[in-house]
Structure 1
Amino acid sequence: MTGVLASVAALLVVGFSASLAWAHARLLSTGPAGDSTVAEPITAVTLTFNEPVKQSSTTITVTTADGSSYSDGAARVVDSTVTQAVRALPAGAVRVTWRTVSADGDPIQGEFGFTVAPSAAPASATPSPTPSATSSARPVNPAIVTRSPDAAAPKSAGSSVPWLPLGIGVAVVILGAVGFLRWRRRSLSR
């Protein structure tokens, strides 16, 4: 009987530890996307995580190939999205290095890069059209948030079940039933 209880306790510890490991924040997407090329000026770099991260422990560094930093102020966290304002980026390779802390207190970090390739504007004397009165006053940021290459595919609604803890729960029930039946058989045979 004590062997069965020890097995059940061990399974519960393993299941609890595994469920804690799933609690870490994971980077879902970036804007601009990793390994992309942007032609329009960007004003910020964004990172989107699968869960909220801590503001006080979040840093994002945006640098060019020569090592110059273009980060403008501190990163701003709103729920699971982190935004880092940037100064005007020159043409060329840009490296984004980030570090933050998950809601469960575990530090996570990473990096990605993209290329700035300004679009070649034709040298014409024609003035650019002014926005109409009906156009939106909010500027459009061409750095569309897309999936980074190393991000996990989105889970379907049916795949969000934590299979390991569920399997451990089933094993605990089976072991408990076996232990009870053994105990019952022993007590009846006495």
Structure 2
Amino acid sequence: MTPQKLVQRTFAALFAVLLLLLGSSTAALAHDAVTGTTPANGSTVDAVPAKIEITMSNTPAVIGSQIMVVDSSGTDWSLGGVDVLDTVATQNVRPGAPAGKFTVKWRLVSSDSHPIEGEFTFTATSASTATAGAAVGAGPVVSVQAQPETTPETAPDESAVPWSVIGLGVVLVGLVIALLVVARRRLGKDS
């Protein structure tokens, strides 16, 4: 085999590997998305709810997740940390929240470990009815009413090229350079 054919075959193999790796990484670039919120974005509710729920397309991580329930004066009414059960992230709301417009600012860590964030609003016509020190029951949650379908909330796509793809590109460029140096040396010896 001539050195020129060796270089051509090497480039063809590298190109095939690059196409295989880049083609399979497109699925990994997709982040999880919000499929619904409770209360719904832009809705008006009778009273400030005791908890806010954000439903995702996959189970988000608890670590690094944050949900803030902010009233029109800028006060954050969230109580405790974010709880995650299946695909639902839940944030409790402190008792005594006033009536008015609220902005829910959220940052969740998607199942592929990338943080995604967004916000939605709702308006409460009356203050929170929960009182401090109220007993909280534990056990399964059972719904006796059919849940209406909610319109999916889309998170802004802030995806960039993942570091793994950049690292792979650097490694492949280094490999090509090394192969060119070796091929050039062999061509020099054969002359």
Q: Same fold (TM over 0.5)?
A: yes
Give the corresponding residue for 2:23.
15
2:150 & 2:102 partners in 1: Cα distance?
17
Q: Deviations over 1:71-114 (max 9, x none)?
A: 11111111211011112432211011111212222111111111
In the alignment, is the contact (CA less than 8 A) between 2:66 and 2:82 conserved in 1?
A: yes
Task: Quote the residue 2:89 is aligned against.
Answer: 82
Instruction: Tell me which residue corresponds to 1:58.
Output: 65
1:46 is matched with: 53
SS in 2 for 1:117: strand
Aligned partners of 2:12, 2:61: CA distance in 1, in Å?
42
Q: Indicate the residue corresponding to 1:37 in structure 2.
A: 44
Query: Structure 1 residues 46, 145: closer, same or farther in 2, change over 3 A?
Result: farther
| Cα deviation, residue 7, structure 1 | 2.9
Whole-Å separation in 2 of the counterparts to 1:64 and 1:14: 45
**Contact in 1 for aligned 2:35/2:153 (Cα 8 Å):** no
- Residue number in structure 2 paired with 1:150: 154
Partner SS for 2:84: strand
Q: Is this contact kept in 2: 1:37–1:114, CA < 8 A?
A: yes
Q: Look up the SS of the partner of 1:29 in the other structure.
A: strand
State how 1:80-119 maps to structure 2 within 5 Å.
80-87=87-94, 88-118=96-126
1:72 aligns with 2:84: no
Give the 3-state SS of the residue equivalent to 2:25 in structure 1.
helix
C-alpha spacing 1:140/1:97, structure 2 compared with 1 (3 Å): farther
Which runs of at least 4 in structure 1 moved beyond 4 Å after TM superposition?
Answer: 137-141
C-alpha distance in 1 between matches for 2:86 and 2:74: 30
With over 3 angstroms needed to count, the CA separation of the structure-2 counterparts of 1:37 and 1:145, relative to structure 1, is: farther
Could you say which residue in structure 2 is the equivalent of 1:6? 14
Unaligned runs of 5+ in 1: 120-136, 152-190
Match for residue 171 of structure 2?
Answer: none
Letter in 2 for 1:79: D
Asked if the contact 1:75–1:84 (Cα under 8 Å) also holds between the matched residues in 2, the reply is: yes
Number of aligned residues: 133
3-state SS of 2:63 partner:
helix
Q: What is the percent sequence identity of the aligned residues?
A: 33
Asked if 2 retains the 8 angstrom alpha-carbon contact of 1:31 and 1:145, the reply is no
Q: Normalised by the size of structure 1, how large is the TM-score?
A: 0.60
In terms of mean alpha carbon deviation, does 108-117 or 7-16 score higher? 7-16
Letter in structure 1 aligned against 2:101: A
